[in-house]
Structure 1
Amino acid sequence: MKRYRDSFIAFMKRTMRAYRGRPWAVGVLVGLLLIDLCSQWPGNVARPAFLETLNELLPDTFGSARQLLFDHYQRRFPRIPATQPVTIVEIDDRTLEAVGQWPWPRNRLAHLVDAIAAARPLAIGLDIYMPEPDQTSPGMVADNLPDAEAALATQLRALPSHERILATSLRAAPSILGAAAFDHATSTTRTDMLSAPVLVHGGGALDNVRRFQYVLASLPELQGAAHGQAMLNVAQEQGTVRRIPLVLGLGDKIVPSLPIEMLRVATDSPAIEVFAKPSGVQAVGVADVRVPTQPDGDIWLHFASIAQTQHRYVSASDVLLGKVDPARMRNKLVLVGLTGTGLTDMRTTALGELVPGIEIQAQVIETIFEGRFLRRPAWLIWAETGFIMSFGLLLIWYVPRTDSRLAVFMRTVPKASTIVGLALNLLTLAVCFAVFQYFGFLVDAASIFIILSAVMGSFFTISIMETDKPDKPETARLPRTPTRSPTDTA
């Protein structure tokens, strides 16, 4: 067994040393490029069999490094809000203390909708879904009364239900109800919901978007009264929100997310438009706004720090008491959400901040208003691949040359390889940061760094192997025995 192992090691050393290590470096370059492509292969395109096997052996090899780099871009250059199109009416701890615990009776929620609508907002989005009847409605209370209270029960049943009161308020206001898409059925999920028409230009949209079969939505009576229904789903990767779907698939139709539906209602547009190709969704539009998307209908969200957005929050208790200046909500897109302790769905953003889910919806709307989108189109992935391959081959051709200036520099300057590698990687990172800051493109400097460093490292390994080769033993010389001449006699 030891003999086979030694033979294999000797074979690998000969292979690595052949042609000054160039074939070995090419193998490292091509192998890592294939692994990198596997980690970001388009979801709508089937991988070749050998790439599928490679992805199973080394899943998401570069994905984590890539996402951490993209997060660092945003932490270095967070978005600074230039507009304030959104106001958030938060049902916070102060509101719960003043009004009562959640969930509220629906007639109380109707009072909040009426108070917001009085300020004339462009749209009111409720980050709330109500799939079950209100148990505090007069009819529900009547059903639980004893037979002795039959007269009281009759009077209660004559009163409007809390759903009817809320439906009246929703119908009178430019309201949108939230819903959540599910992969599995529950006792309260349905397979469809009322939603605005989505006009698809081109083909392939439904096959590429995130697709679900079930939805947790509000009661049909409330859906019919609201001016729109929208999904509240966000995309999470390793517990962090970086991308938001603008459209989703529900069964055999496409449905909008809350931000794009808010814009539709605010502009009084009859439909949302999706522009697609067989390769996926290209953009989502409403009125004269067109938002470029990823092939699955997502957008990369450029986050602003929560410290920059605190001014958009107003307490629901102040709204109910009439203490909020109507100008805070007039001609604004108003979101209503829960921020009270233990009630809100907290999410981690790319900035590393923990924020309420309603804040993410607000930042999407804000980003669309400002037109400052982060982009990672398919052509950018192939451009990165081409750059890595071209620069890697240049290194493979140039580095082993003993007569090159680089070789002379590496031989004469202490720690030259460290200096060269650090300089190249800092230059690459600086260029990628500049492209992010000025153009909004997410360039994967992490994969460029890892792959090109591995190519350089392969030559470094070979040079160590050459240095460690044992010197050839010198031939032992025996001392010469002096010979005597025949004349040397005593």
Structure 2
Amino acid sequence: MAFPLMKRYFDPWLVRIRNLLKAAQGRPMALVVLFSLSLLNLSSEWPSNMGRPAFVGALDEAVPDSFRTARQLLFDQYQRHFPRIPTAQPVTIVEIDEETLATVGQWPWPRNRLAGLIDAVAALKPLAIGLDIYMPEPDQTSPDKVAANLPETAAALAAALRALPSHEAILARSLRAAPTILGAAALDHATDTASTDLRSAPVLVHGTDPLDSLRRYDYVLASLPELQEAAHGQAMLSVTLEQGVVRHIPLIMGLRDKVVPGLPMEMLRLATGSSAIDVFADGSGVQAVGVADVQVPTQPGGDIWLHFASIRSTLSRYVSARDILKGTVDPQRIRDKLVLVGLTGTGTTDMRTTPLGELVPGIEIQAQVIETIFEGRFLRRPTWLKWAESAFIMAFGLLIIWYVPRTQSRLAVFLRAVPKGSAVLGVSLHLLNVLFCFFIFVRLGLLVDAASIFIILSAVMGCFFAPALLRGDDPIKTQARDAQGREDENDRTGKAPGP
């Protein structure tokens, strides 16, 4: 009983929709679909060099995930089929792994023990040492902290402990003696240990102030001021997550009204002996970030699309901190290298998912950024590329709208003559689209959005087949029947055949 009632209710609506799609051979509806989907596609990635109209922002909020997910998944597939193959290894990761924790002790270590690891690494003459470690609170195992917890009966012992240097003082001495950089984490909210400033190297801006284009934060989780003052640099370690996957890596960020560097650029600054980091920006945002004679082209937000290498190809860069402390590491693995020190032991580190579908330690991502800069192999999606895609979609879509309904065209004759010709032609064209975009990715490192091209043009083509599909007919037979009907009508009325 329910099904006939539903059919009786929906049938009139299907007829109206079918008649609407058939009006003027489907061209008006196809035009609406082409323009609306093109606008929706643009709103999901509106170029930063143009003011964003209010209605575009409202459209993106109303349909927030319209084309973005398809675009991201496509770009991930580009990388999975063509991952970066490392040609250089400028970075060594000294990992505080499970073997180290089993030998030295659980994390967090007393600061004097961490100082010993830094001294051991520094003795092997690296170019720079970056610590993926935050130390915003005092070490509670420091002698003065232990003394404060002793009973009054142990006054002599407490006095002796207070006479010893604190663990912060020992670590600060090691940080000052080695080319060290402390990492910090960006925060959007205040915490008991967060601050609003970071002691960082100068950033020289060439051109327009880039702050409005950058990802900005109000707070930072940084190490104690005593340790910041001793280290030779401070840097942000934050990465951008999109649905849990790291695709973009910011080279610079905003901390309130200040531009601060990410760890890769600060490592290069210290290694080259430069006093500042250069930022090149214009009205469309950040164009490049540089240090010394190296310039890295960026997205307008000061970030880069990272071309990932598989973790299987980078395992040789890892050195256990236990072996460093024992003195059993080949010195050539550290000498003149950029060394990153971080946690990789189970349960002690944040793990990140890459576009390759691999789960890697956060410090591996920082290493891959430095490695990519050394190799000069960057992925790019410049603003002009989005406009070029939109122009292609509009031009090809209009061509479809003009040509496909023409019943006497070669395409129409072909579709009537060849069974399933429309399916074969559609699949072939879309396959050619994907292969061409992938070829551009491999040869030029450009990220062309073949997904949006496929979705929009398929929707436009669907406008001409939808009336037949709503009736349950074969679209090709329907087109032939409609064409024959129009020819018969023209014969009766004496009119010339129309398009």
The answer (yes or no) to whether the contact 1:208–1:296 under 8 Å persists in 2 is: yes
**How far did 1:360 drift?**
0.4
Q: Give the TM-score normalised by structure 1.
A: 0.93
Task: Note the alpha carbon deviations across 1:27-51, whole angstroms, 9 max, x for none.
Answer: 1111110111111124685532332
- 1:52 & 1:84 partners in 2: Cα distance? 43
- 2:270 is equivalent to residue 265 of structure 1: yes
How many angstroms apart in 2 are the aligned matches of 1:297 and 1:92?
Answer: 32
Distance in structure 1 (CA, Å) of the matches to 2:168 and 2:328: 27
Question: What is the percentage of aligned positions where both structures have the same residue?
Answer: 69
- Quote the residue 2:121 is aligned against: 116
User: What amino acid is aligned across from residue 101 of structure 1 in structure 2?
Assistant: Q
The answer for the alignment partner of 1:77 in structure 2 is 82
Equivalent residue letter for 1:26 = L
2:449 maps to: 444
Q: In 2, Cα distance between the equivalents of 1:108 and 1:467? A: 75
Q: How does 1:172-321 map to 2 (within 5 A)?
A: 172-321=177-326
2:134–2:184 CA contact under 8 A, matched in 1: yes
| Aligned pair partner of 1:433 in 438, 443, 448 | 438
Post-superposition Cα deviations, 1:67-101, rounded to whole Å, max 9, x if no partner, equal: 00000000000000000000000000000011011
1:44 touches 1:207 (CA, 8 Å); kept in 2? no
1:156-194 Cα deviation digits (max 9, x unpaired): 111111111111111111100000010000000000010
**Partner letter of residue 95 of structure 1?**
T
Number of aligned residues: 471
CA shift, 1:20, in A, is: 1.4
Question: Higher Cα Rg: structure 1 or 2?
Answer: 1
Equivalent-residue separation in structure 2 for 1:207 and 1:56 (angstroms) = 21
CA contact (8 A) 1:204 1:279 kept: no
Cα offsets for 1:134-168 (capped at 9, x unmatched): 11111111111111111111111111111111111
* Equivalent-residue separation in structure 1 for 2:293 and 2:244 (angstroms): 34
TM-score, structure 2 as length reference: 0.91
SS at match of 1:248: strand
Instruction: Report what 2:165 is aligned to.
Output: 160
Distance 2:49 2:388 in 1: 20
Q: Distance in 2 between matches of 1:53 and 1:131?
A: 40
Query: Within 5 A, what are the aligned runs for 1:340-489?
Result: 340-464=345-469
- Partner residue of 2:92? 87
For residues 360 and 38 of structure 1, the distance between their equivalents in structure 2, rounded to whole angstroms, comes to 30
2: CA distance, partners of 1:114 / 1:465 = 75
CA distance in 2, matches of 1:338, 1:89: 9
Q: Which amino acid aligns with 1:382?
A: W
Instruction: Specify the SS of the correspondent of 2:114.
Output: helix
SS in 1 for 2:288: strand
RMSD of the TM alignment (CA)?
Answer: 2.0
Q: Which runs of 5+ in 2 are unaligned?
A: 1-5, 486-499
1:482 aligned partner: none
Is 1:170 matched up with 2:155? no
Change in CA separation of 1:318 and 1:5 when aligned onto 2, cut-off 3 Å: closer
In the TM superposition, residue 26 of structure 1 has moved relative to its aligned partner by 1.0
Give the Cα–Cα distance (whole angstroms) in 2 for the partners of residues 396 and 134 of structure 1. 70
Q: CA deviation at 1:227?
A: 0.4
Is there any run of 5+ residues in structure 1 with no aligned partner, and where? 473-490
Given the alignment, which residue of 101, 104, 110 partners 2:106?
101
Q: Are the counterparts in 2 of residues 87 and 332 from structure 1 also a CA contact under 8 Å? A: yes
Closer, same or farther: CA 467–189 of 1 in aligned 2, 3 Å:
closer
DSSP 3-state at the match of 2:235: strand
Among residues 47, 51, 57, which one is paired with 2:56 in the alignment?
51
Letter of the structure 2 residue corresponding to residue 416 of structure 1: G
Q: Secondary structure at the match of 2:414?
A: helix
